[in-house]
Structure 1
Amino acid sequence: MARRLRTPNRALAGLMQTEGIGNAQLARRTNAVGKELGVTLHYDKSSVSQWLAGSTPKPQARPAILEALSRLAGRSVTSAEVGWGDDPAEERDAVSGVMALSRADMDPSRRSVLTAAMYGATLVVPTYDELAGEPDQRVKHAGAGGLLRIGMSDVETVTKMTDKVAEILDEIGAGHARPMAAAFITNTIGAYLRADASEKVRKAMLAAVSDFVYLTGWMAMYEMKQGLGQKYYLRALDLAASGEDHVTYCRTLRGMSLQASHLGYGPKALELADAAAEAAPASGPRLVAFLRGQQAAAAAMTGDRNTAVTRLRETEAALAQADNRRDAVGGYDEAAFHFHEAHVRWSLKDGPGSIKALRRSNAARSLQERQGRVHCLGVIAQRQMAMRHVEAACATWNEFLDEYQMISSARGDEHLRNLRTGLKPYASLPVVRSVTERTRAMRRSLTTSSPPKVVREFDERSHGVHL
């Protein structure tokens, strides 16, 4: 039987030649990125030679390879650019893109690859004017003459669902809320986006959906699915521009800044926070506080003390002028302000001040904001451990465990893993033995019990969507 000849991958070869990327260099960087992604890869220069000869890497490895190429090139590199075809979830049409993404998020055969997608630290985010400048292309599948015709009541349905999912997120965690969100996009929003509608209703629907997709991206980020969260954020930007929703576009950029700061990319976080503030339309004091607070936190990460302190003062002043209305998505309140204050203080080496601000943040939360309280307590305890205040940290961990057992949260799981690792050097202390035994007992209880809490292996902010 004749052996099938592969076609050399000239696209990949051209990119590597243009950017001066060597085979061994790409293999090493791919393996390193794979470790960040939690994927064990053992590529060498001969593996890259095979790609250049026309073989296609396994799907699980491609996010790591593309991110390695992006970092070496200093810009975002796509699957299509290197000759491996388009990822269906990367369609740039606003409607088709979000539908492909949500369907893939629901598909068990694709979810493992999709949720392992690598966060793109070199991603260049299009401006509002760039996105809004191509309305026909970005919404070409909307209003395609289907049998369904929607009105403002359908827009209200999406808005109400956004509020309800945000409430579920707060009360029992993103682990429960995000699957519901992906299903709603696939099964309901898809029909709305392809229905006939007046121009007014069409734009209102696109704006409402952009808010819902932004929330879905936030939940993916909160569940440590960073690449997936970034994909949802990009879809939200597309939809916001198509619906001429300047505010959601800015809020999404701000969410992307928070994601970058959580992953340790200070300059990128500041770039996105500044872009969000610059793109913001004339707005009320609450949105100003929402944007300035993230600018303060990002500036502190880069070591710019003067800018961080100035932005934090602007945040406090704007919030003082805001009314008492509290948005379910993208709002900003006292708890969020103190969380930002804590971030700034910690970055500027004020540990005690940071912990006090975190305590003020949790004191300002309602009883329903369990996920935000869990995260805040986890941060407090880890900072107390970093300051070697072991007994205080154990007291905080007990508060954390009280709340943690009631929710499903990957970020809560991460805090718990950090707890167990951080306490090991102090295992001889009675207070440490006590909290360690409580953790073990909780694990045994969760392993043998039924819902409400999703059982997870843990051996190894303000409102959730505010921080």
Structure 2
Amino acid sequence: MSWSKQAIRDASRESDYGRVIQLARREQGLTQRQLGEACGLTQSAVSRLEGRAAGPYNMSILASAAAYLGLSPRLVGLADGTAVSAADGRDPVERREFLAGAVAAAATPALAALPMPERQEAGQAATLRLATTAFRRMDGSTPSRQLSEVVFAHLRLVQSVAAEAPDEDQRVRLAAVGSEAASLAGWLSWDMGDHGSARTWYGSAIKAARRSGNRLLAAYQIGSLAQMEADAGNAAQGLNLTRSARRQLGTNAPAVADAWLCTVEALAHAAAGDELSTDHALVRSRTAAALITAEEPPPWPWVFTFDEAKIAACRVTCGARLGLPIWVFGKRDEVATAMPSSHAKQHALLQLDLAAGHQAAGRLEAAYVLATQAVESGLRYRSGRVVERARVFRRAYTSSTPPKVVRTFDDRLHGVYL
């Protein structure tokens, strides 16, 4: 996609950076809510950003939105230099350079906006954490194989800085930062279909979180590994890890942590085929989510908001695992809430869950139209997780004489290598 369109250039020259964001968002077919969710912002924050014709702008919000949309920092007044087009179509070296530059543009203004005492206290840890956050936000629209090289280099930097830290206090803070970066490396490996590497990275993230003494972070990392195991069908392992994560949380856990862990538990119960326990876990998640303050930004490492849409999406996924079309389609408003997403790979996975519901109900045409769309997204973003989920979906249908729509899907999947 080219950002050299006249309207965006004109808005940039007039320093109407809110208008630049608005035009870029509309060009990509995103709503304000979707952009806000991708950047960890509320819809109203995006609306205020776009409505400021001449500033003053919150540079952290502006940088986050620009980085997610793939805008050149110069187009929104964040950096000097020539305009940069969107990174699609670049060679791998150019792509990595673009990603690193976009993250730097997103992180630097955010750090500058911190109160001085916090900046002095956090130092290098704050800078490195902001970079990790920016990388995580870019995951939704960036192939993991491209983003992973930058993240692995970032993780090595964190490790080298931690090794040279002069005192224990700094080493503790940097252990938390290293945990966050290792967790992101695990997530990217999972998306690439490399479960062995993902387990290794998540193990490193858990160990580092424990060294940091941050129980919330340790619980998140254990829960993330539990989520991967549940997704892979390892129900017992997923449930054991979820219980371990809850022990880490202890009492007085944030509502968002409880709500999220309940959805992980639901996925594990669904993997075990336990419908009743799955439903109970989802009910508990809704109860906990109702306690989350709507305008309060989610605490790290919950970069993105956790709300009813996430629970609705989890119910769809659980329904697909359990072979219950009524769960997938029983509450249409929930499905409508769950589907809009600016995270392309997550959206594709949810499409496959909906397709599984159609297939279980005997609606093959609708099922394979959705599944084909999901596969195209998986191939576009080179997501091994999406493609493997598509293969699992296909194996659920057995017939010696499959209809044309199924044969066409088979032809698309045949010979796919990522």
TM-score by length of 1: 0.55
Alpha-carbon distance in 2 for matches of 1:265, 1:433:
30
Unpaired stretches in structure 2, ≥5 consecutive residues: 1-119
Q: Give the structure 2 partner of residue 408 of structure 1.
A: 382
Alpha-carbon distance in 1 for matches of 2:268, 2:372:
30
1:80-106: CA deviations, max 9, x gaps? Answer: xxxxxxxxxxxxxxxxxxxxxxxxxxx
Indicate how the Cα distance of structure 1 residues 241 and 419 shifts in structure 2: closer, same or farther if over 3 A, else same. Answer: closer
Indicate how the Cα distance of structure 1 residues 436 and 295 shifts in structure 2: closer, same or farther if over 3 A, else same. Answer: closer
* DSSP-derived class of the 1:408 partner: coil
Q: Give the structure 1 partner of residue 211 of structure 2.
A: 242
Indicate how the Cα distance of structure 1 residues 344 and 220 shifts in structure 2: closer, same or farther if over 3 A, else same. Answer: same
The residue type equivalent to 1:242 in the other structure is R
Alpha-carbon distance in 2 for matches of 1:241, 1:211:
12
Alpha-carbon distance in 1 for matches of 2:137, 2:331:
24
The structural deviation recorded for 1:211 is: 1.4
Q: Any conservation in 2 of the 1:175–1:223 contact (CA below 8 Å)?
A: yes
How is 1:247-266 mapped onto 2 (pairs within 5 angstroms)?
A: 247-266=216-235
Q: Give the structure 2 partner of residue 74 of structure 1.
A: none
% same residue: 16
Return the index of the structure with the highest Cα Rg. 1
Unpaired stretches in structure 1, ≥5 consecutive residues: 1-149, 444-456, 461-467
Q: Give the structure 2 partner of residue 13 of structure 1.
A: none
Indicate how the Cα distance of structure 1 residues 418 and 268 shifts in structure 2: closer, same or farther if over 3 A, else same. Answer: closer
Indicate how the Cα distance of structure 1 residues 356 and 166 shifts in structure 2: closer, same or farther if over 3 A, else same. Answer: farther
Indicate how the Cα distance of structure 1 residues 459 and 352 shifts in structure 2: closer, same or farther if over 3 A, else same. Answer: farther
Q: Give the structure 1 partner of residue 271 of structure 2.
A: 301
* DSSP-derived class of the 2:150 partner: helix
The structural deviation recorded for 1:302 is: 3.4
Alpha-carbon distance in 1 for matches of 2:350, 2:121:
41
2:290 aligned with 1:320: yes
Q: Give the structure 2 partner of residue 229 of structure 1.
A: 198
* DSSP-derived class of the 1:368 partner: coil
The structural deviation recorded for 1:386 is: 4.2
Among 233, 238, 244, the alignment partner of 1:269 is 238
Alpha-carbon distance in 2 for matches of 1:338, 1:173:
26
1:347-402: CA deviations, max 9, x gaps? Answer: 55522313567994674466531111011112322443344321111231343256
2:147 aligned with 1:177: yes
Q: Any conservation in 2 of the 1:174–1:408 contact (CA below 8 Å)?
A: yes
Alpha-carbon distance in 2 for matches of 1:420, 1:328:
37
Alpha-carbon distance in 2 for matches of 1:358, 1:266:
28
Q: Any conservation in 2 of the 1:345–1:354 contact (CA below 8 Å)?
A: yes
Among 195, 212, 236, the alignment partner of 2:164 is 195
Q: Any conservation in 1 of the 2:173–2:212 contact (CA below 8 Å)?
A: yes
After the TM superposition, which of the residue ranges 306-315 and 246-255 deviates more from structure 2? Answer: 306-315
Alpha-carbon distance in 2 for matches of 1:306, 1:411:
27
Q: Give the structure 2 partner of residue 215 of structure 1.
A: 184
Alpha-carbon distance in 2 for matches of 1:299, 1:193:
39
Among 315, 327, 341, the alignment partner of 2:315 is 341
TM-score by length of 2: 0.61
Q: Give the structure 2 partner of residue 378 of structure 1.
A: 352
Q: Any conservation in 1 of the 2:375–2:387 contact (CA below 8 Å)?
A: no
Alpha-carbon distance in 2 for matches of 1:181, 1:358:
38
The residue type equivalent to 2:171 in the other structure is R
Alpha-carbon distance in 2 for matches of 1:200, 1:357:
50
Among 440, 458, 467, the alignment partner of 2:416 is 458
How is 1:24-63 mapped onto 2 (pairs within 5 angstroms)?
A: none
The structural deviation recorded for 1:339 is: 2.9
The structural deviation recorded for 1:193 is: 0.9
1:249-274: CA deviations, max 9, x gaps? Answer: 11111112112212222122111112
1:19-47: CA deviations, max 9, x gaps? Answer: xxxxxxxxxxxxxxxxxxxxxxxxxxxxx
Count of residues paired in the alignment? 294
Alpha-carbon distance in 2 for matches of 1:304, 1:423:
22
Q: Give the structure 1 partner of residue 342 of structure 2.
A: 368
Q: Any conservation in 1 of the 2:258–2:288 contact (CA below 8 Å)?
A: yes
The RMSD of aligned alpha carbons is: 3.3
Q: Give the structure 1 partner of residue 130 of structure 2.
A: 160
* DSSP-derived class of the 1:321 partner: coil
Alpha-carbon distance in 2 for matches of 1:378, 1:165:
26
Indicate how the Cα distance of structure 1 residues 243 and 300 shifts in structure 2: closer, same or farther if over 3 A, else same. Answer: same
Alpha-carbon distance in 1 for matches of 2:196, 2:389:
20
* DSSP-derived class of the 1:264 partner: coil
After the TM superposition, which of the residue ranges 216-225 and 292-301 deviates more from structure 2? Answer: 292-301
The residue type equivalent to 2:381 in the other structure is I
